[in-house]
Amino acid sequence: MRSAFDFAPYRRSTIGFDRLFDLLENSGLAQGSETYPPFDLIQVDDNHYRISLAVAGFSRDEIDITAQQNQLIVTGKKADDDKVNYIHRGIANRQFERRFGLADFIKVTDADLRDGLLSIDLVREIPEAMRPRRVSIGGSQTNQASIDSAKQQTVEATAQESIEA
């Protein structure tokens, strides 16, 4: 099921946003399919986030967390306990896989399992080259002086080379 909104005009006029539009168009499919385990998304501050999943009954050995290429995958696999003879089994023993899409520059820093809650800490680390920086406005005379100076150095270097030859 695709979104009711048509992204075609935006796809034609933007470059590099294909992944974003695919996520928006297919978001209706993913919302209904994953309901277990329940989770909270918490923004700790501007660059720190936490995902808390309710994984009661799972031990550290039964949970696997994988971060790969803008995606965080949390899986839980319960070991079958054939030695126990259940009269009634009301606690679910089901496996799960929960996927979270991560934005660029989001890194998983820590994970902790306490009191049935799995907490995964995330941080946004923007490289220095990608951070906004202030550009000073220079006068045209300053720029022209720099250009004239560079030209003068080139002329002097060429004259020096012809004298040496």
In a domain, 159, yes or no: no
pLDDT for 145:
60
Residue numbers of the domain that contains 14: 1-33
Clarify whether residues 125 and 95 are in a common domain: yes
User: What's this model's pTM, rounded to 2 decimal places?
Assistant: 0.62
pLDDT for 79:
78
- Among the listed ranges 18-22, 86-90, 99-103, which one has the minimum average pLDDT value? 18-22
pLDDT at 123 > cutoff 80: yes
Clarify whether residues 44 and 87 are in a common domain: yes
CB 49 within 8 A of CB 122: yes
In a domain, 92, yes or no: yes
Clarify whether residues 18 and 69 are in a common domain: no
Chain length of the chain: 165
Clarify whether residues 113 and 60 are in a common domain: yes
Clarify whether residues 73 and 3 are in a common domain: no
Clarify whether residues 57 and 28 are in a common domain: no
Clarify whether residues 58 and 123 are in a common domain: yes
Clarify whether residues 6 and 41 are in a common domain: no
* pLDDT tens per residue, range 35-77: 888 999 999 998 999 999 999 889 999 999 999 988 999 999 9
